[in-house]
Amino acid sequence: MQIGILGLGSAGIRHFRAFRKLPDISVLGADPDETRRQRAEAEGGKTVATLEGLLSRRPEAVVVAVPHAYLADAALQAMDSGAHILLEKPMATSLEDAIRVVNRARVLKRWVMVSFVHRFRPDVAAARELIVRGNIGTPVFLTDAMVSGASEMPPWVWDRARAGGGMMLYNGIHQVDRARFLLGEEVDTVRAEVRTLTHDVDTEDTVAAVLGFRSRAVGVVTQHKGSADALPGWETQVFGTKGSLRIRTGQELSWVSSGKVTTLAAAPEDRFFGAAAEFVAAIRDGRAPSPSGEDGVAALEIVLRMYADSATSRAKKPNP
Ligand SMILES: NC(=O)c1ccc[n+]([C@@H]2O[C@H](COP(=O)([O-])OP(=O)(O)OC[C@H]3O[C@@H](n4cnc5c(N)ncnc54)[C@H](O)[C@@H]3O)[C@@H](O)[C@H]2O)c1
């Protein structure tokens, strides 16, 4: 099976490496940036400069890993040429475009998987399993906090025209997906404060949001990019009617049930490889890959509702 990878930046190169580890797969990368192509070629891979060049080789599937404003159009073009799609989050900068991708896939009978790679961390999969087995009872409350220090970001993330949003759309959408995945529940209500506090940029670096789930469970999601050194981390807690669990992402999973605390150190993980293996297995089996395009649409809708809620509540502020 031939897989094309469009965009060989920070995400694309990880997809490129992951697919090259799979048996019976040939990988072709594409990026207009020559230094990005040279990096992939230095690893022994093959590349072309454009999406058209990539599609002319008729890949069976294409991974789309470009800045947000270009994701949906590239996915549609690749699908129209017959490819299944592994699409980077957030799929698009508008809900309409993300839905267009899912609908076109249905019509063309192509699969769309959305790259919520953090689901492929063993600690996250184990946490979901604990919840499914009832170890913590019915989940009623979730907290999810992600903080990053003053590390470099791709510059387009701070440009609304190319990114559509800031840290919540680039990183925080993984938190939203984790909340939906762990609870196995859809979100009903979204309230949020979305601010640009630590950077002199166009898009947000800080979000505090409250999610109401259909089951009546409540989630609190916070996302912050520090302007200076900040202790980075991603911590998720789920409280249920019989116990609770905590993921210190990449470090440990702990849970307490019937008075007994258990802690597992995080195993080494390769989440991009996990996603690549699922995508290829689903295509070979003729089944829908997971996370699905619908999962992507649901998460994007929640983030866009955070932006809308924050803007509306600010507009409603009474004049002093
Ligand atoms: N799933 C994850 O964990 C994860 C992690 C990082 C980024 N991402 C996502 O991956 C996508 C890319 O982000 P990134 O951090 O890799 O950005 P990046 O800037 O590092 O890389 C983007 C690449 O796309 C190329 N590019 C730009 N415009 C293009 C176009 N029109 N056609 C083809 N190529 C083009 C650039 O030359 C660059 O090499 C975004 O959707 C982002 O949210 C996902």
The CB density around residue 300, as the number of other CB atoms within 10 Å, is 28
Quick check: 176 and 165 in contact, CB under 8 A? no
5, 10, 273, best to mutate for ligand 1 pocket (most atoms within 8 Å of CB): 10
- Closest by alpha carbon to 127, among 171, 183, 172? 183
Q: What pLDDT digit, counting tens, does each position of 20-35 carry? A: 999 999 999 999 999 9
What pLDDT, on the 0 to 100 scale, is given for residue 150?
81
- Regarding whether 214 and 157 lie in a shared domain, the answer is yes
**What mean pLDDT value characterizes the chain?**
96
Q: What pLDDT digit, counting tens, does each position of 178-222 carry? A: 999 999 999 999 999 999 999 989 999 999 999 999 999 999 999
The model's confidence at residue 315, banded by pLDDT at 50, 70 and 90, is confident
Q: Which residue has the tokens 């907290």?
A: 143
Q: What pLDDT digit, counting tens, does each position of 105-147 carry? A: 999 999 999 999 999 999 999 999 999 999 999 999 999 999 9
Residue 297 counted as domain residue? no
- Regarding whether 151 and 23 lie in a shared domain, the answer is no
Atom 27 of ligand 1, residue of closest alpha carbon: 66
What pLDDT, on the 0 to 100 scale, is given for residue 319?
66
Report, as an integer, the average pLDDT of 299-316: 93
68 touches ligand 1 (CB under 6 Å): yes
- Is the pLDDT assigned to residue 320 strictly greater than 90? no
Q: What is the pTM of this model?
A: 0.97
Which amino acid makes up residue 60?
A: E
Q: Which atom of ligand 1 is nearest to the CA of 118?
A: 3
Residue 5: Cβ-neighbour burial (10 angstroms; 0-12, 13-18, 19+)? buried
- Is the pLDDT assigned to residue 314 strictly greater than 90? no
32 touches ligand 1 (CB under 6 Å): yes
What pLDDT, on the 0 to 100 scale, is given for residue 151?
81
- Regarding whether 134 and 98 lie in a shared domain, the answer is no
Instruction: Give the residue ranges of DSSP H helices in 167-239.
Output: 167, 173-183
71 touches ligand 1 (CB under 6 Å): yes
Pairing of strands 61-64, 2-6: parallel
Spatial distance between the Cα atoms of 283 and 293, rounded to a whole number of angstroms? 14
The model's confidence at residue 168, banded by pLDDT at 50, 70 and 90, is very high
- Regarding whether 138 and 108 lie in a shared domain, the answer is no
- Flag the least confident range among 80-89, 253-262, 307-316: 307-316
- Regarding whether 203 and 106 lie in a shared domain, the answer is no
Beta-ladder partners of 253:
247, 264
- Closest by alpha carbon to 17, among 72, 65, 69? 65
233 touches ligand 1 (CB under 6 Å): no
138 touches ligand 1 (CB under 6 Å): no
- Is the pLDDT assigned to residue 10 strictly greater than 70? yes
Spatial distance between the Cα atoms of 297 and 157, rounded to a whole number of angstroms? 20
269 touches ligand 1 (CB under 6 Å): no
* Residue-number span of the structural domain to which 261 is assigned: 122-267
- Regarding whether 56 and 133 lie in a shared domain, the answer is no
Domain of residue 69, CATH code = 3.40.50.720
- Is the pLDDT assigned to residue 250 strictly greater than 80? yes
How many angstroms is it from 218 CA to the middle of ligand 1?
32
What pLDDT, on the 0 to 100 scale, is given for residue 79?
98
How many angstroms is it from 64 CA to the middle of ligand 1?
8
Spatial distance between the Cα atoms of 134 and 210, rounded to a whole number of angstroms? 24
- Flag the least confident range among 233-237, 248-252, 265-269: 265-269
- Regarding whether 277 and 258 lie in a shared domain, the answer is no
Spatial distance between the Cα atoms of 176 and 156, rounded to a whole number of angstroms? 22
What pLDDT, on the 0 to 100 scale, is given for residue 15?
98
5 SS3 class = strand
Which amino acid makes up residue 7?
A: G
What pLDDT, on the 0 to 100 scale, is given for residue 138?
97
11 touches ligand 1 (CB under 6 Å): yes
- Regarding whether 11 and 46 lie in a shared domain, the answer is yes
Structural domains counted in the chain: 2
- Is the pLDDT assigned to residue 92 strictly greater than 80? yes
Domain of residue 253, CATH code = 3.30.360.10
Phi-psi region of 217 (alpha: psi -120 to 50; beta: other; left: phi over 0): beta
How many angstroms is it from 189 CA to the middle of ligand 1?
30
Respond yes or no on whether the N-terminal peptide bond of residue 291 is cis (omega within 30° of 0). Answer: yes
177 touches ligand 1 (CB under 6 Å): no
40 touches ligand 1 (CB under 6 Å): no
- Is the pLDDT assigned to residue 242 strictly greater than 90? yes
70 touches ligand 1 (CB under 6 Å): yes
% of the chain with per-residue pLDDT over 90: 92
- Regarding whether 31 and 85 lie in a shared domain, the answer is yes
Q: Give the CA angle between residues 200, 202, 208 to the nearest 5°.
A: 90
